[in-house]
Amino acid sequence: MSDENIRRSALDETLSPELSRLVEQLAGTALPATTVSRDELLYRAGWDAAERKLAHRSSSSDRLAGRFTTVGWSAVSALVAMSLTVAVMWHRPSQPTNESIIVRTSEPSTSSPVETAAARTAVEPTAPTEVTIERQVPMFVMPREYDRSATLLIQREQALRYSTLSPGSWNDLRGPGATRTSPARAKPSSARELLQEFLPDVKRDDVT
């Protein structure tokens, strides 16, 4: 490193000869060699640049993926909300739903037994008749109608159970609320009697 390399200025021109000589002497003094390894420095610089490039790419792709994820979730949640709204609007009954108890019966003049839905193992009926029981979603049902519907359903279940009893065990059957001293009951001879006994609330005209 010589003084020719120094960018000379007006100040350097105004220095005294002794000071100029001192400057030349200092500039001619070789500094100790650096302890920094040039190869290591270049290696680290290259590695650093590669890391920054990789980080930049991954961050930009993350941003893109995050944006797509947000849009996707928004679309899915909007679809779910719309589906739920449509489902609730369609399912909400404007009128009570009906459930039918099918009472299958034959001609009144014939002696063939009347069959109820409880006796599904019997012979196929000729003219099914429907007794309509209103069954509604509880929140839309009037309490009295709901009680009646529940009573009818319970009685239908009892009829189903009793119809499968043998004649012998029928005598042992005691009705609802019966005590040990209650008299034995005779099994109804026909399905009509059975129905009249266990469905007392159903008018006779309903069962034809």
Partner 1 sequence: MGPIDAALITEYFERYAAALEFYAGQRTQAAADCVQEAFLEFARLPELPPDPAAWLFHVVRNRSLNAARAAQRRTNHEQAAAEHSTAWRRVASPVETVALLDLLQSLDDARREIVILRIWGQLTWEEIATVTQSSRSSVQRNYVHALEQLKQQMEPRECPTKTSADLR
Residues that bind partner 1 (CB under 8 A): 1, 5-7, 9, 11, 15, 18-19, 22-23, 25-27, 29-36, 38, 40-42, 44-46, 48-49, 52
Residues 6+ apart with CB under 8 A from 188: 194, 197
Do you know the residue count of the chain?
Answer: 208
CB of 64 to partner 1, least distance (A): 23
Classify each residue of 32-57 as buried b or exposed e, where b means 16 or more C-beta atoms within 10 Å of its C-beta: eeeeeeeeeeeeeeeeeeeeeeeeee
Q: How far is C-alpha 194 from the geometric centre of its chain's CA atoms?
A: 45
Minimum Å distance from CB 82 to partner 1? 49
In the complex with partner 1, which residue's Cβ is closer, 50 or 87?
A: 50
Q: Which is nearer to partner 1, 42 or 137 (CB)?
A: 42
- Residue 63: CB minimum distance to partner 1, A: 21
Nearest partner of 115 among 10, 49, 195, judged by Cα: 195
Cα–Cα distance for residue pair 177/158, rounded to 1 Å: 14
Q: What is the closest distance, in whole angstroms, from the C-beta atom of residue 62 to partner 1 in the complex?
A: 22
Nearer to partner 1, 56 or 161 (CB): 56
The least CB distance from residue 56 to partner 1, in Å, is 11
47 vs 73 by CB, closer to partner 1: 47
d(CA 114, CA 127): 10
**In this complex, which beta carbon is closest to partner 1, that of residue 35 or of residue 181?**
35
